[in-house]
């Protein structure tokens, strides 16, 4: 087990960015945490508490155990800024020293829980097999143990000290860490970068230390904050039940003592209550902030309110001026930054799609193609907004349009085919219900009618056994099938314009060709306008009538597919064309990943 | 499904056996002289020894355990050493109290935590901060302080509810409701706070899933996306937490049962364990472990229902 | 803190709103048995069983409801007829002749007679119960005829009538003696009530309903419910909201809480005294204890006045003696024999050759020794050089550590002050639980026989001499008598029972 000395292992520098985690975690989590207002505040409170408690012997004017009954219940006096408790002991001294024991106890519980839970969780998750079975069984056992009986019995056996209780508590909460770590490790075990690490001959020990630990680090830190809060709260609760710490001063003991004198001196509750509440509150907040920062959940942006920032609609055009299906003029998209302010990622894009035409929007990833597509659909992620320009669909201005009206356009007029087929289907519903739902909603047809149409659509997208697929869950079908299902979904409400965002990149080459053929067929049969977002110039050559090349948020070149592919004007386009010749698949093909079922 | 339940039940039985053995051993170690406690300080040592022998305490722990096991397998949990009550009857009398609390709290938590968590996770902004603050406060306040405040305000001051006692569900429904409302509210503060946090997190995670964006792109109304798709997908992790809360509540119930003077099995556990009343504690262990096993099974089945990928066939 | 609490309350109020109405509208129905003829008593005593052989003084009300005692103890401590109508000692106090009430039968028709008394008492004596020792002096029980029985005593026992009004006097139906443990949960006596099995949840709530055809005067309540609680906070809250009619409150803070409600009626009683019982006067555990000057020094070292004021919030009276105010041995001036005088304490220790001080280890039972008491005793004794070390003992291990292992020199505890002198002597002076090392001295040896053979009033001088000797020789370190509060929700008049903390079941009546 020595190989997995967990949390202490230094973070190895440049590990390949794991897909499961946001990019933010690498760029100075501590700095981000400091910029997180709640994180900063709770961190500061905790730091102050810990410091005060550590310096108790220096800070405290009196000994926590020294009692002068004559002073009992006395108010603040010289050298005793908070006065005295029911036994005439100095409250400041008891708070500080009590904090030592309370927090020390929580640390012990944590150390025990981590020492038991993390290594076993790593091993069980990484190797599986008999160890996994045995450890999981043991964990089930610990979790089923009646905690109260175990706590009381251990206290009777080992003596009534706060330390014993906290060690036992650590033992009882260890399963939480085990389960957490085991679950995460098992799910990343087969991920690409671990595989790659294995191929390149790293030993298991290094893999665990380098790659696996990084993944579990953030959840463990969060769990640590929560468990310490629980330990502190539980200790106070036990004290109240008379299962306390004996003579050792703790915040729980202080609170319990205050409770016993609540009629005589209700204010005695204040200080230990405040200390307890503040500390566990800060821990919870810190956990939430850590989660936001480490798991990139974003600090509850007030973006929704700020979205009403200035949006300049470029001089409204008359319907006749843009006869096309889609017309984008001077579109700019910006994102709110966590620290305030905005960053523009799309700068003044012009684009047109006519009915029956396939237009390719080409560029490297990060060039703003997808942002452009999302703004046409009105589904920019939170924090993003159209800050300038005009988008018309069938002559109707979309920028500044009320959300309700815009929603009516989605599906019926503009439809969307996403990039990753698997992640774009809701895993909890059958394919059929995911097809039927929008049709019933948008077209207001009966369930039977919608079912009939869904089956028809599945046939339309060349699925061999529509009934079976209809009844399947997403994890039961292949990636190519899923993409066909998504295309069927996009087609379900007879849209005029299809926005396809890299519809084939996640598929292997043979399926790619089939899906592209399908798109082409649909476009012809139904006279669709298609905006095809892609980085793949081969696809463009196959499919597109016209092409717009995008770089760093700007369109650098537009023209017919012929022109752009054969006589590129812009050096960037030429570079892109050069890259295609290398025939390196830009992204790994999608693989069914239903091996892990927790 | 049936074979899954059968397998889990068998595993549960083994677990129960092992835990009962561990508990018996653990309970036998402390130096508790039961006979002396029963007869008081004044009784002669001979009398005490005789009483201990009558209770079978002069035999080795393993023999005592086997004796207990054979009896309990026949459904006979014996009588309490300290109060003379029939153990099964005593527990069956008290079980409805604690179970009322646990189910009540779980229902309240499920509803409120989901509403709050979904609200915060979907709306973010000010709502999110409000829910966060509530969650933190509810979590940070020591449980017994919350309970005391609730008793003082709603029972002693406002007289809306009785301060103590329990009326059986079979005796009077409204009576039952009025006696369990405050205890449930006291317990719910912490658990709603905890679960709401979890739901919020899951909802935020789900809201960022690609399929949610795709659903939006299909033109579905937001409430429909949230209540049909987001909630269902966010439920599985929240349900796991809820299940753990339910299991952990046996501990929290002790406090509430004491303050509200409720004759439940939480306070029973504490009182009888401190005295070393092994027949009662062992039966409590059996009941609570069985409860945990059943709850875990139910949670797993529910999670499977919510998440087809984890479904058991 | 305050604000957050308010937020939590507001949130809860929302949550509770729909059920509030239901709770309100039903406040009458929720307690169907709270009519004028029902009495609900709260207790913190859990009886081991309802078999008389397991009876103890503090659980007596449970038993009084179902069983009658031979002798009835009146609230003022005097004895009056119950199942025995007359009693008479012979001249040397070794024979007690009882005349029994005739015409009393148990529920199944079994008559109550001399044979029943004999069967009950012999079973009690050999039953291994905690109080079995109280009949140790009974040599034989002679049945004279159906209504006459004579107790032959090995030696005079001035407390015998007390015992017959207590656990030893409870009379159960002899027909049940052969039914194994039946009496433990299905008590059967001649008493004023029957245990209602349907409404009784042993361990939490016992409901007694009026016994049809009770031989004696009817008690005022049709039903009496005794509920067990493990903390006084719940009891006081229940009193305030009317779910409990009567209870005894010991804790000073809870007493204040109860008094704060204008509806609640209270009656004060001084019963328990709190103090340090020194068993180790022979110095078996702590050799220093052997010297009376050391024990006197301990008495001088503690500041009783401050303790009473701060710990009991002045609810009680300082005392230096173990005898209660209603005993013959009581001497008012002994209450203040030892002044708070640390200098004198140090002086006495020095004289005894312990100027360097010593260590005293005492068990701490958290329910009795509060934080304040523990800390202040430590401080007071520390100030004169005695290092007091507390060892925490659990409810489970306390009795074994203290009484079986005999690991300590003394014990801080609350002891009830009986009004029967000989009960006090038996508990604290004779060899036994609280004199576990069997210590005695010449003065005690000389005085005891003179006391034992006589009525308490007759032996008043010797009793007072004994008391004075115990105080001056430092047998104990009493702190103060504690004022307990009998509280009712206003609907009940409670008459305290002399020599007992909990009132007899006969002492409750509807308030007028």
* Pair of tokens at residue A531: 């905006």
Burial class of residue C294 in the structure, from the number of CB atoms within 10 Å of its CB (0-12 exposed, 13-18 middle, 19+ buried) = buried
Pairing of strands A554-560, A546-551: antiparallel
What would the mean pLDDT of C457-462 be, rounded to a whole number?
A: 90
What does pLDDT average to over chain C?
86
Which 150-189 residues of chain B touch chain C by CB within 8 A? 150-151, 153-156, 159-165, 167, 172, 174-175, 177-179, 181-182, 185, 188-189
pLDDT of amino acid C317? 93
Residues B214 and A379: their CA atoms lie apart, in Å, by 9
- The percentage of chain B sitting over the pLDDT mark of 70, rounded to a whole number, equals 96
Q: Strand locations in A502-543, DSSP E?
A: 529-534
* Pair of tokens at residue C8: 């939590």
Say which CATH number the domain at A66 has.
1.10.3720.10
Buried b (16+ CB within 10 A) or exposed e, C74-84: ebebebeebbb
Residues B263 and B267: their CA atoms lie apart, in Å, by 7
C378 touches chain A (CB under 8 A): yes
What would the mean pLDDT of A288-302 be, rounded to a whole number?
A: 60
Task: Determine whether the interchain pair C376/A253 forms a contact, defined as Cβ–Cβ distance below 8 Å.
Answer: no
Residues A412 and A438: their CA atoms lie apart, in Å, by 10
pLDDT of amino acid A133? 87
Q: Could you tell me which residue, A483 or A581, shows the higher pLDDT?
A: A483
Residues A237 and A243: their CA atoms lie apart, in Å, by 9
Chains that touch A (3 or more CB pairs under 8 A): B, C
Residue A277 belongs to some domain of the structure: yes
Distance from the C339 Cα atom to the nearest Cα atom in chain B, whole angstroms: 32
Residue A568 belongs to some domain of the structure: no
Strand partners, C88: C97
ipTM of this complex prediction, to 2 decimal places: 0.83
Chains that touch C (3 or more CB pairs under 8 A): A, B
Domain count of the fold of chain A: 1
pLDDT digits (tens, 9 = 90+) for B147-167: 888 888 888 888 888 888 888
Mutate which: B27, B144, B175, B256, vs C, most C CBs within 10 A: B175
Of A144, A291, A408, the CB nearest to B293: A144
Burial class of residue B10 in the structure, from the number of CB atoms within 10 Å of its CB (0-12 exposed, 13-18 middle, 19+ buried) = exposed
Task: Determine whether the interchain pair B45/C202 forms a contact, defined as Cβ–Cβ distance below 8 Å.
Answer: no
Task: Determine whether the interchain pair B211/A424 forms a contact, defined as Cβ–Cβ distance below 8 Å.
Answer: yes
Residues C8 and B134: their CA atoms lie apart, in Å, by 7
First to last CA, chain C: 45
pLDDT of amino acid C111? 92
Task: Determine whether the interchain pair B39/C433 forms a contact, defined as Cβ–Cβ distance below 8 Å.
Answer: no
**Which of B64, B36, B31, B61 has the alpha carbon at shortest distance from B50?**
B36
Residue A464 belongs to some domain of the structure: no
Q: Could you tell me which residue, A125 or C334, shows the higher pLDDT?
A: C334
pLDDT of amino acid A181? 87
Distance from the A162 Cα atom to the nearest Cα atom in chain C, whole angstroms: 12
State the SS3 of C69-117.
Answer: ECEEECCCCCEEECCEEEEEECCCCCEEEEEECCCCECCCCCECCHHHH
Helix (H) or strand (E) holding C413: strand C410-416
**Which of B136, C93, C465, B217 has the alpha carbon at shortest distance from A493?**
B217
Distance from the B290 Cα atom to the nearest Cα atom in chain C, whole angstroms: 23
**Which of C269, C334, C333, C273 has the alpha carbon at shortest distance from C308?**
C273
Residues A597 and C86: their CA atoms lie apart, in Å, by 85
Alpha helices for C1-42 (secondary structure H): 2-25
pLDDT of amino acid B205? 82
C241 touches chain B (CB under 8 A): yes
pLDDT of amino acid A196? 61
What does pLDDT average to over chain B?
83
Quick count: other Cβ atoms within 10 Å of Cβ C341?
16
Q: Which residues of C touch B168 (CB under 8 A)?
A: none
Any idea which of A3-12, A335-344, A426-435, A473-482 has the lowest mean pLDDT? A3-12
pLDDT category of residue B82 using cuts at 50, 70 and 90:
confident
Task: Determine whether the interchain pair B309/A427 forms a contact, defined as Cβ–Cβ distance below 8 Å.
Answer: yes
Q: Which residues of B touch C228 (CB under 8 A)?
A: 263
Residue A468 belongs to some domain of the structure: no
pLDDT category of residue C370 using cuts at 50, 70 and 90:
confident
pLDDT of amino acid C116? 93
C379 touches chain A (CB under 8 A): yes
pLDDT of amino acid C222? 92
pLDDT category of residue C8 using cuts at 50, 70 and 90:
very low
Residue A139 belongs to some domain of the structure: yes
B273 touches chain A (CB under 8 A): yes
Contact in structure between C42 and B201 (CB atoms under 8 Å): no
Q: Find the angle CA(A136)-CA(A138)-CA(A140) to the nearest 5 degrees.
A: 70
Helix %, strand %, coil % for chain A, to 5?
A: 55, 10, 30
Q: Under DSSP, is residue C45 helix (H, G, I), strand (E, B) or coil?
A: coil
Residue A285 belongs to some domain of the structure: yes
pLDDT category of residue C469 using cuts at 50, 70 and 90:
very high
C199 touches chain B (CB under 8 A): no
Any idea which of A292-301, C122-131, C197-206 has the lowest mean pLDDT? A292-301
First to last CA, chain A: 24
Residue A247 belongs to some domain of the structure: yes
pLDDT digits (tens, 9 = 90+) for C207-264: 999 998 899 888 999 999 999 988 888 899 889 888 899 999 999 989 999 998 888 9
Contact in structure between C350 and C342 (CB atoms under 8 Å): no
Q: Which residue of B has its CA nearest to A155?
A: B30
Residues A165 and A233: their CA atoms lie apart, in Å, by 13
Q: Which residues of B touch C128 (CB under 8 A)?
A: 39, 43, 47, 50-51
Q: Under DSSP, is residue C481 helix (H, G, I), strand (E, B) or coil?
A: strand
State the SS3 of chain B.
Answer: CHHHHHHHHHHHHHHHHHHHHHHHHHHHCCCCCHHHHHHCCCCCHHHHHHHHHHCCCCCCHHHHHHHHHHHHHCCCCCECCCCCCEHHHHHHHHHHHHHHHHHHHHHHHHHHHHHHHHHHHHHCHHHHHHHHHHHHHHHHCCHHHHHHHHHHHHHHHCCCCCCCCCCCCCCCHHHHHHHHHHHHHHHHHHHHHHHHHHHHHHHHHHHCCHHHHHHHHCCCCHHHHHHHHHHHHHHHHHHHHHHHHHHHHHHHHHHHHHHCCCCCHHHHHHHHHHHCCHHHHHHHHHHHHHHHHHHHHHHHHHHHHHCHHHCCC
Q: Find the angle CA(A384)-CA(A390)-CA(A392) to the nearest 5 degrees.
A: 110
Predicted confidence (pLDDT) at residue A321 exceeds the cutoff of 70: no
pLDDT digits (tens, 9 = 90+) for A519-537: 888 888 888 888 888 887 8
A129-144 vs A162-189: helix axis angle to the nearest 10? 140
Q: Under DSSP, is residue A18 helix (H, G, I), strand (E, B) or coil?
A: coil
Q: Under DSSP, is residue C269 helix (H, G, I), strand (E, B) or coil?
A: strand
Residue A163 belongs to some domain of the structure: yes
Most confident region among A111-115, B122-126, C49-53 by mean pLDDT: A111-115
Q: Which residues of C touch B112 (CB under 8 A)?
A: 15
Task: Determine whether the interchain pair A141/B18 forms a contact, defined as Cβ–Cβ distance below 8 Å.
Answer: yes
Residues C193 and C65: their CA atoms lie apart, in Å, by 5
Residues A376 and A390: their CA atoms lie apart, in Å, by 10
Residues B287 and A252: their CA atoms lie apart, in Å, by 30
Predicted confidence (pLDDT) at residue B8 exceeds the cutoff of 90: no
pLDDT digits (tens, 9 = 90+) for C269-290: 888 899 999 988 988 899 999 9
Number of H helices and E strands in chain A, helices first, is 23, 10
Q: Could you tell me which residue, C207 or A383, shows the higher pLDDT?
A: C207
pLDDT digits (tens, 9 = 90+) for C143-194: 999 999 999 999 888 889 999 999 999 999 999 988 877 888 889 999 999 9
B149 touches chain C (CB under 8 A): yes
* Pair of tokens at residue B136: 């933190």
pLDDT category of residue C96 using cuts at 50, 70 and 90:
very high
pLDDT of amino acid C61? 93
Task: Determine whether the interchain pair B307/A441 forms a contact, defined as Cβ–Cβ distance below 8 Å.
Answer: no
- CB neighbour list of residue C1: distance below 8 Å, 6 or more residues apart: A270, A273, A274, A277
Task: Determine whether the interchain pair A301/B124 forms a contact, defined as Cβ–Cβ distance below 8 Å.
Answer: yes
Q: Could you tell me which residue, C442 or A183, shows the higher pLDDT?
A: C442
* Pair of tokens at residue B105: 């709290």
Q: Which residues of A touch C4 (CB under 8 A)?
A: 277
Distance from the B289 Cα atom to the nearest Cα atom in chain C, whole angstroms: 23
Q: Could you tell me which residue, C111 or A324, shows the higher pLDDT?
A: C111
Q: Which residue bears the tokens 């010449």?
A: C442
Structural domain for A39, as ranges: 29-297
Most confident region among B36-45, B297-306, C125-134, C385-394 by mean pLDDT: C385-394
Residues A356 and A368: their CA atoms lie apart, in Å, by 24
Any idea which of A300-304, B285-289, C319-323, C498-502 has the lowest mean pLDDT? A300-304
What would the mean pLDDT of B204-214 be, rounded to a whole number?
A: 85
Strand partners, C477: C276
pLDDT category of residue C83 using cuts at 50, 70 and 90:
very high
pLDDT digits (tens, 9 = 90+) for A62-72: 788 888 888 88
Helix (H) or strand (E) holding A49: helix A37-54
Task: Determine whether the interchain pair C379/A86 forms a contact, defined as Cβ–Cβ distance below 8 Å.
Answer: no
Q: Could you give the strand order of the β-sheet that contains A342-353, starting from the edge strand earlier in sequence?
A: A342-353, A326-336, A384-393, A396-397
A257 touches chain C (CB under 8 A): yes
State the SS3 of C116-176.
Answer: HHHHHHHHHHHCCCCCHHHHCCEEEEEEEECCEEEEEECCCCCCHHHHHCCHHHECECHHH
Buried b (16+ CB within 10 A) or exposed e, B33-65: bbbbbbbbbbbeeebbebbbeebebeeeeeebb
């Amino acid at each position: 087990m020595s190989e997995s000395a967990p949390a202490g292992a230094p973070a190895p520098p440049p590990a390949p960015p794991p897909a499961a985690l946001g990019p933010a975690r690498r760029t100075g989590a501590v700095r981000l945490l400091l910029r997180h207002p709640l994180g900063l505040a709770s961190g500061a409170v905790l730091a102050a508490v810990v410091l005060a408690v550590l310096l108790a012997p220096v800070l405290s004017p009196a000994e926590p155990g020294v009692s002068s009954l004559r002073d009992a219940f006395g108010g603040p006096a010289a050298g005793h800024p908070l006065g005295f408790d029911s036994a005439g002991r100095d409250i400041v001294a008891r708070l500080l020293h009590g904090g030592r024991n309370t927090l020390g106890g929580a640390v012990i519980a944590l150390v025990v829980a981590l020492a038991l839970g993390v290594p076993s969780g790593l091993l069980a998750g990484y190797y599986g097999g008999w160890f996994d079975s045995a450890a999981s069984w043991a964990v089930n056992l610990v979790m089923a143990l009646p905690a109260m009986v175990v706590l009381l019995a251990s206290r009777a056996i080992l003596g009534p000290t706060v330390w014993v209780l906290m060690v036992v508590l650590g033992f009882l909460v260890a399963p939480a860490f085990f389960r957490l770590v085991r679950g995460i490790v098992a799910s990343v075990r087969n991920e690409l970068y671990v595989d790659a690490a294995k191929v390149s001959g790293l030993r298991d020990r290094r893999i665990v230390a380098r790659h696996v630990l990084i993944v579990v680090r953030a959840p463990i830190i969060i769990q640590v904050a929560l468990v310490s809060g629980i330990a502190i709260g539980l200790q106070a609760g036990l004290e109240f039940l008379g299962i306390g710490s004996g003579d050792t001063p703790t915040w729980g003991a202080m609170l319990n003592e205050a409770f016993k004198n609540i009629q005589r001196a209700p204010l005695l509750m204040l200080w230990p209550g405040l200390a307890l509440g503040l500390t566990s509150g800060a821990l919870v907040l810190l956990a939430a902030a850590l989660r936001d920062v480490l798991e990139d959940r974003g600090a509850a942006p007030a973006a929704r309110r700020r979205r009403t920032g200035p949006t300049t609609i470029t001089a409204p055009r008359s319907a006749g001026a843009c006869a096309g299906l889609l017309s984008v003029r001077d579109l700019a998209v910006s994102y709110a930054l966590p620290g305030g302010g905005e960053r523009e990622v799309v700068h003044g894009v012009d684009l047109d799609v006519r009915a029956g035409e396939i237009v390719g929007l080409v560029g490297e990833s990060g060039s703003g193609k997808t942002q452009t597509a999302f703004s046409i659909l009105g589904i920019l992620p939170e924090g993003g907004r159209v800050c300038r320009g005009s988008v018309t669909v069938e002559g109707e201005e979309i920028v500044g349009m009320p959300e309700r009206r815009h929603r009516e356009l989605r599906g019926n007029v503009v439809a969307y085919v996403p990039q990753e087929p698997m992640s774009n289907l809701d895993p909890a519903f059958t394919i059929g219900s995911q097809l039927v739902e929008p049709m019933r909603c948008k077209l207001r047809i009966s369930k039977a009618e919608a079912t009939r149409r869904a089956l028809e659509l599945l046939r339309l997208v060349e699925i061999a056994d529509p009934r079976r697929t209809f009844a399947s869950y997403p994890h039961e079908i292949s990636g190519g099938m899923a993409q066909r299902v998504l295309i069927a979904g996009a087609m379900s409400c007879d849209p005029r314009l299809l926005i396809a965002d890299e519809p084939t990149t996640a598929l292997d080459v043979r399926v790619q060709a089939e899906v592209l053929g399908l798109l082409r067929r649909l476009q012809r049969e139904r006279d669709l306008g298609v905006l095809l977002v892609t980085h793949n110039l081969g696809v463009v050559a196959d499919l597109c009538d016209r092409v717009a090349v995008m770089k760093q948020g700007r369109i650098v070149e537009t023209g017919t597919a012929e022109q752009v592919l054969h006589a590129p004007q812009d050096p960037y386009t030429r570079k892109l064309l050069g890259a295609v010749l290398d025939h390196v698949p830009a992204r790994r093909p999608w693989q069914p990943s239903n091996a892990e079922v927790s | 499904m049936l074979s899954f339940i059968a397998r889990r039940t068998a595993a549960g039985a083994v677990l129960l056996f092992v835990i009962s053995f561990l508990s018996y051993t653990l309970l036998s170690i402390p130096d508790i002289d039961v006979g002396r406690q029963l007869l008081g300080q004044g009784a002669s040592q001979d009398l005490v020894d005789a009483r201990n022998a009558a209770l079978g305490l002069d035999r080795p722990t393993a023999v005592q355990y086997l004796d207990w096991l054979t009896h309990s397998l026949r459904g006979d949990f014996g009588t309490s050493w300290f109060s003379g009550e029939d153990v099964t009857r005593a527990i069956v009398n008290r079980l409805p109290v604690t179970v009322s609390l646990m189910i009540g709290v779980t229902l309240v938590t499920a509803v409120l935590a989901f509403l709050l968590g979904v609200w915060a996770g979907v709306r973010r902004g000010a709502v999110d901060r409000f829910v966060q603050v509530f969650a933190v406060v509810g979590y940070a306040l020591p449980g017994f302080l919350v309970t005391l405040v609730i008793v003082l305000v709603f029972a002693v001051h406002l007289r809306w509810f009785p301060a103590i006692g329990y009326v059986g569900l079979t005796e009077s429904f409204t009576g039952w409701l009025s006696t369990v409302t405050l205890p449930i509210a006291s317990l719910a503060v912490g658990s709603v706070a905890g679960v709401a946090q979890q739901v919020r997190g899951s909802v935020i995670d789900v809201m960022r899933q690609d399929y949610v964006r795709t659903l939006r792109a299909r033109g579905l109304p937001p409430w429909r996306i949230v209540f049909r798709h987001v909630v269902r997908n966010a439920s599985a992790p929240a349900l796991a937490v809820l299940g753990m809360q339910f299991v952990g509540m046996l501990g929290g119930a002790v406090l509430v049962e004491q303050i509200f003077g409720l004759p439940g099995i939480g306070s029973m556990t504490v009182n009888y364990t401190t005295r070393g009343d092994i027949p009662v504690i062992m039966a409590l262990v059996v009941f609570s472990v069985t409860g945990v096993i059943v709850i875990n099974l139910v949670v797993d089945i529910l999670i499977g229902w919510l998440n087809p990928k984890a479904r058991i066939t | 803190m305050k604000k957050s609490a308010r937020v939590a309350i507001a949130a809860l109020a929302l949550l509770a709103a729909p059920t509030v109405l239901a709770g309100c509208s039903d406040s009458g129905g929720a307690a169907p048995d709270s009519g004028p003829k029902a009495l609900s008593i709260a207790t913190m005593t859990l009886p081991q069983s309802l078999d008389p052989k397991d009876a103890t003084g503090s659980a007596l009300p449970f038993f009084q409801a179902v069983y009658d005692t031979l002798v009835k103890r009146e609230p003022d401590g005097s004895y009056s007829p119950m199942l025995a109508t007359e009693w008479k000692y012979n001249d040397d106090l070794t024979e007690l002749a009882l005349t029994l009430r005739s015409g009393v039968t148990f529920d199944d028709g079994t008559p109550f007679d001399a044979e029943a008394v004999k069967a009950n008492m012999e079973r009690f004596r050999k039953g291994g119960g905690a109080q079995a020792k109280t009949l140790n002096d009974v040599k034989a029980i002679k049945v004279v005829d159906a209504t006459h029985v004579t107790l032959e005593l090995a030696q005079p026992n001035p407390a015998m009538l007390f015992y017959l009004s207590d656990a030893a006097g409870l009379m159960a139906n002899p027909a049940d003696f052969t039914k194994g443990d039946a009496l433990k949960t299905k008590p059967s006596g001649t008493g004023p009530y029957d245990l209602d099995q349907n409404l009784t949840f042993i361990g939490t709530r016992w409901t007694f309903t009026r016994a049809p055809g009770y031989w004696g005067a009817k008690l005022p309540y049709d039903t009496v419910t005794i509920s067990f609680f493990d903390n006084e906070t719940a009891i006081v809250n229940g009193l305030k909201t009317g779910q409990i009619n009567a209870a005894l409150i010991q804790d000073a803070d809870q007493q204040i809480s109860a008094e704060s409600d204008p509806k609640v009626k209270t009656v004060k009683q001084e019963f328990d005294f709190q103090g340090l019982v020194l068993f180790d006067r022979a110095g078996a555990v702590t050799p220093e204890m052997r010297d009376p000057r050391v024990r006197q020094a301990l008495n001088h070292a503690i500041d009783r006045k401050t303790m009473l004021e701060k710990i009991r919030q002045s609810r009680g009276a300082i005392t230096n003696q173990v005898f209660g105010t209603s005993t013959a041995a009581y001497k008012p001036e002994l209450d203040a024999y030892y002044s708070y005088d640390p200098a004198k304490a140090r002086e006495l220790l020095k004289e005894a050759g312990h100027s360097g001080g010593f260590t005293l280890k005492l068990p701490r039972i958290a329910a009795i020794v509060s934080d304040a008491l523990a800390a202040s005793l430590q401080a007071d004794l520390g100030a004169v050089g005695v290092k007091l070390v507390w060892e925490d003992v659990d409810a489970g291990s306390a009795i074994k550590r203290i009484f079986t292992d005999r690991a300590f020199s003394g014990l801080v505890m609350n002891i009830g002050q009986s009004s029967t002198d000989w009960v006090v002597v038996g508990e604290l002076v004779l060899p036994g639980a609280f004199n576990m090392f069997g210590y005695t001295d010449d003065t005690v040896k000389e005085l005891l026989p003179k006391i034992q053979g006589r009525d308490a009033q007759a032996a008043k001088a010797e009793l007072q001499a004994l008391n004075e000797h115990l105080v001056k020789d430092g047998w104990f370190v009493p702190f103060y008598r504690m004022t307990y509060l009998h509280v009712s929700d206003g609907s009940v008049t409670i008459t305290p029972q002399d020599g007992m903390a909990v009132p007899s079941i006969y002492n409750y009546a509807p308030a007028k």
